[in-house]
Amino acid sequence: MKKSKLPKADMPVRSGFKSDISPQALQRWCPDVRAAMGEDDAATISVLDPIGSDMWGDGVTAKRIAGALRAIGPNPVAVNINSPGGDYFEGLAIYNLLREHAGEVTVNILGIAASAASVIAMAGDTVNIARSGFLMIHNTRIGAGGDRHALRQVADWLEPFDTTAVDIYAARTGIDAATLAAMLDAETWIGGKSAIEQGFADALLSADLLDSAPQDAASASLRAERKFDLLASKAGLTNTARREMLRALKSGQPGADPSGMPGAANVEQGLQDLLKDLKSF
C-alpha cells in the first residue's frame, strides 16, 4: 500500500517519560543479523539498534533518521530493520519522517521489529520480512511512580498512543481495531509467513539479502555490554552504578560473577541474571 494512506502519528508531549524495551524482545533480538551489502547501500537506512539513544550515544533516533533522509533527498530508500524496540515516542517520530518522505520507502525486516520498531516498519510503501523474522506489537510501556492519582493521569496520557498504534496497524492490515487492541494487550509475536497472511508485510525477503556481522571478541563484548546496559536501566540502576557493575563483570573481580569467567562471558552471565530478575516482577 502507499504510505501516504497511513495515518500520521499524533504525539502529545509530556516531559520526563521514556518508554522501554520488553525483556522478551531483548532476549530474542540477535544483533548480528544485518543486510547483505549491495550496490544501492547509499540509499539505505539501517535500524539495527534499540530505538532512542543509549549511554554510548548510539541507538536509532529521529534526528539521525532525519539527517539520513535529507542526504538521500527525494529518492527511493530501503529501511533495514532488526531492532528490539525502545523509546516508543521516538519510534512514532521516525514513523512520521518515513511516512512523509517524498521517495518510495521499502522496509526490510531482517530479524525482529519489536514494539517501537514495529511501528517504524509500517511506514513503507512495501514491507518485506525474513521467513524467520518477527514483528512484536504491544501497548506502550513506561516506568512511572507516584500515588494513584498521578498513575491514573499517566495511564490516561498513554492511552492515545496505543490508539494511534492500533490505527496504524489497522490502516496497513485491514484488521479491525478491537482485534488489534486485544493483540496489543497480549504482547503478540507475529512470524514472517503470518505477518504476510495478516497484512503486516507484503512479501518474504530472499535469504540472499541477509548476512551476519563479523564474529570477534571485541564486537561480541560490545553487544553484550549494550544489552546489559538496557536491562540494568530497566532494573533501575543509575548510569554510574551500571558502569561500575560492567567494569566489575568485565574484569572478573571477586563477587562480580560466581563463574569467574572473564570479559564478555561475564557480561553475558550478568545479562541472564538481570533477565531472570526482570521476569520475576
Parse the chain into domains and list their residue ranges.
Answer: 3-212, 217-279
Can you give the pLDDT at residue 224?
A: 66
Beta bridge partners of 203: 128
Furthest-apart CA atoms within the chain: distance in Å:
58
CATH class for the domain made up of 3-212: alpha beta
Helix boundaries (H) for the chain: 23-28, 62-72, 88-99, 116-121, 148-173, 177-185, 192-198, 217-234, 239-251, 263-279
Residue the block writes with cell 547509499: 42
- What length is written for the chain? 281
Would you give the end-to-end CA distance of the chain in angstroms?
A: 40
Residue whose C-alpha cell is 552471565: 269
Q: Which residues contact 216 (CB under 8 A, 6 or more apart)?
A: none
* pLDDT at residue 261 in the model: 40
Q: What is the pLDDT of residue 257?
A: 41
Residue 137 · residue 165 · CB < 8 Å: yes
Give the Cα separation of 214 and 132 in Å (integer): 20
Instruction: Give the pLDDT score at 47.
Output: 94
Query: Quick check: 81 and 91 in contact, CB under 8 A?
Result: no
Taking the C-alpha atoms of residue 159 and residue 187, their distance in angstroms, rounded to an integer, is 16
The pLDDT score that the predictor gives to residue 254 is 40
Q: Give the contacts of 270 (CB within 8 A, at least 6 positions apart).
A: 228, 245, 249, 256, 257
Separation CA 140–CA 221 (nearest Å): 30
**Spans of the chain below 50 pLDDT:** 39, 254-263, 278-279, 281
